[in-house]
Amino acid sequence: MASYNKEAKEPVFSSTPRSGSVSIGTTNIGVTDGSHDVDDRAPQVVDNTALAPGLRTMSRRDAIFVLLTNQVGLGVLSLPGVLKTLGLVPGTVTIIGLGCLSWFTAFELKLFYDRHPHVLNIVDMARIVGGRGFACVAAFGMILLVVMTAASASVTFSVALSLLSDGALGSTAFIGIGCICCWFLCIPRTARFVSQSGIPSCISILAATIVVIAALAAGRPVNAPAEWRRAPVWFAKPSFRDGLNACLKICYAFSGNVSFVSYMAEMTNPQRDFGAALTWLEASSIGFYVFVAVSIYCLAGEYTASPALGSAPGMLAQVAYGLVIPSVLSKGLAFGHTGIKFVYVEVMKHYKIAHEMSINTTRSWLIWMSIATAFWTLSFLLSIAIPVFDSIVSMTSAVTIAWFSFGISAIFSLHMNVKFSSWQNASLTLFNSLLIIGSLFLNGAGLWSSTMELSGALAPRGGTTG
């Protein structure tokens, strides 16, 4: 196990676990009684409590708000457009179904964490299951996901400021301003700071959507003719590509799973509190998503825009975009912080100074700020390359979210329990196998459909960012 030697100032590994400690092997990892030996062939994952004694700071309340900040936000802005594509009934059922599926796979992560409570992030879990190779693949996918999600926050921030200022500076400048704001918010190093943005973030997105709903209830959506009447379509007939893109946008709305392990690692008692926090998150997010999507689509019909705030007429759309800015920045903060923290932990472990992770030293702060600057510079470049909100949402879902929300949890679950001894075990194994196959499908076909959508969106603009 890993223990902390105050004189050596770095983690020290012992080959035999003591009673009540956490072993490091890929099998039988968890609280041991001293009767099991460590598998020396297994990839070593260091006990986070030994590396950073001050890492665990979040209570159950903090966990609820950090999960809400992480998941509830930008994703809801594309859901009314999903109902426009799929129809009211299929769209609503799909939102609820994928939300419950995300809940299930998040709980699988929690079960894996309970067995391996020493991990710091989802990449550590991948290292346990598949060694260094799988960890490298998971690390690349995780960074790509958080960078693309942070880029979507920058693009939405740009849309909001462009609307509020009549495009005074151009989208590139506004994207840059958004990245700088998020970079500043990411300076604190603990996830507890992210949780403190939960209340303003939730109030922000709730107020913005209520303004849009009230505006549409009192008048017509933007671009609707005077004789227009509300007539939502109950069952639409989308093309394969449009239907797949709609499903990818729903997946994006439930994309928080990638950060859940990192948050569990910073909770004071994740085994007791994370399940309750997850229930709060999923129940409230599914209900909120359905309410917003159904309300805006039924009021705007075929004139539903994406992001949905653009459906409101005139000045009220500007008000809605102004109100949503705190939620947009919080989304960038949540995913940016997850990506920066992952790289930070890996760098600190690589240079054998992991004991400084939660200590205020010049070296640790210099490393943190350098990583944060590099992260938001990369996000800025990606935001300019993919400047269309719908397309960046679909591409993010296709490339990474399908795996991190569904597929990778299924792999972890199969690693823990592949049994056919009863119909329950056989059903769980089959279900997880289908999740992996579905993730592969969304990865391939989804990337094709989202790329085609991006090409179509950029064609009228001459392929520029505007």
pLDDT per position as a tens digit, 64-109: 999 998 888 778 888 999 999 999 999 999 999 999 999 999 999 9
The model's pLDDT over 415-444, given as tens digits with 9 standing for 90+, comes to: 988 777 778 888 889 999 999 999 888 888
Q: Where are the beta strands (DSSP E) in 220-344?
A: none
Q: Binning pLDDT at 50, 70 and 90, where does residue 374 land?
A: very high
pLDDT at position 103 = 94
Contact 249, 92 (CB under 8 A): no
Name the strand (E) or helix (H) holding 346.
helix 314-350
Of 339, 321, 340, nearest to 329 by C-alpha is: 321
The Cα-based distances of 80 to 161, 232, 331 in angstroms read: 22, 11, 19
Q: Is residue 412 part of a domain?
A: no
Q: Is residue 411 part of a domain?
A: no
Comparison of pLDDT for 163 and 17, the residue scoring more: 163
Quote the tokens at residue 365. Answer: 């702060």
Report phi then psi at 93, rounded to 5. Answer: -60, -40
Comparison of pLDDT for 148 and 64, the residue scoring more: 64
Name the strand (E) or helix (H) holding 203.
helix 198-218
- State the Cα–Cα distance between residues 118 and 30, nearest whole angstrom: 8
Confidence check: pLDDT of 188 > 60:
yes
- State the Cα–Cα distance between residues 94 and 109, nearest whole angstrom: 22
Confidence check: pLDDT of 390 > 80:
no
Confidence check: pLDDT of 122 > 60:
yes
Q: Is residue 45 part of a domain?
A: no
Q: Is residue 254 part of a domain?
A: yes
Contact 294, 287 (CB under 8 A): no
Q: Is residue 278 part of a domain?
A: yes
pLDDT at position 94 = 95
Q: How far is CA 56 from the centre of its chain?
A: 21
The CATH number for 147's domain is 1.10.4160.10
Of 63, 19, 27, nearest to 45 by C-alpha is: 27
What counts of helices (H) and strands (E) characterise the chain?
A: 17, 2
The Cα-based distances of 446 to 96, 140, 241, 244, 392 in angstroms read: 20, 19, 8, 7, 12
> For residues 63-80, b (16+ Cβ closer than 10 Å) or e, as one string?
bbbbbbbbbbbbbbbbbb
Q: Binning pLDDT at 50, 70 and 90, where does residue 172 land?
A: confident
Q: Is residue 290 part of a domain?
A: yes
Q: What is the mean pLDDT of residues 23-30?
A: 33
pLDDT at position 99 = 94
Q: Binning pLDDT at 50, 70 and 90, where does residue 178 land?
A: very high
Of 9, 95, 109, 92, nearest to 50 by C-alpha is: 9
Average pLDDT of the chain, as a whole number: 81
The model's pLDDT over 313-368, given as tens digits with 9 standing for 90+, comes to: 878 888 998 999 999 999 899 999 999 999 998 998 888 887 888 788 899 999 99
- State the Cα–Cα distance between residues 245 and 250, nearest whole angstrom: 9
The model's pLDDT over 201-231, given as tens digits with 9 standing for 90+, comes to: 889 999 999 999 999 998 888 888 888 888 8
Comparison of pLDDT for 57 and 77, the residue scoring more: 77
Contact 311, 222 (CB under 8 A): yes
pLDDT at position 393 = 61
Give the rounded percent of residues in the chain with a pLDDT score beyond 90.
Answer: 39
pLDDT at position 39 = 39
Report phi then psi at 4, rounded to 5. Answer: -110, 120
Q: Is residue 392 part of a domain?
A: no
Q: What is the mean pLDDT of residues 136-145?
A: 91
Of 229, 232, 174, 182, nearest to 340 by C-alpha is: 182
Q: Where are the beta strands (DSSP E) in 171-280?
A: none
Contact 375, 339 (CB under 8 A): yes
* Domain span including residue 91: 57-355+378-384
Q: Is residue 10 part of a domain?
A: no
Q: How many domains does the chain fold into?
A: 1
Quote the tokens at residue 22. Answer: 């956490």
Q: What is the mean pLDDT of residues 10-29?
A: 34
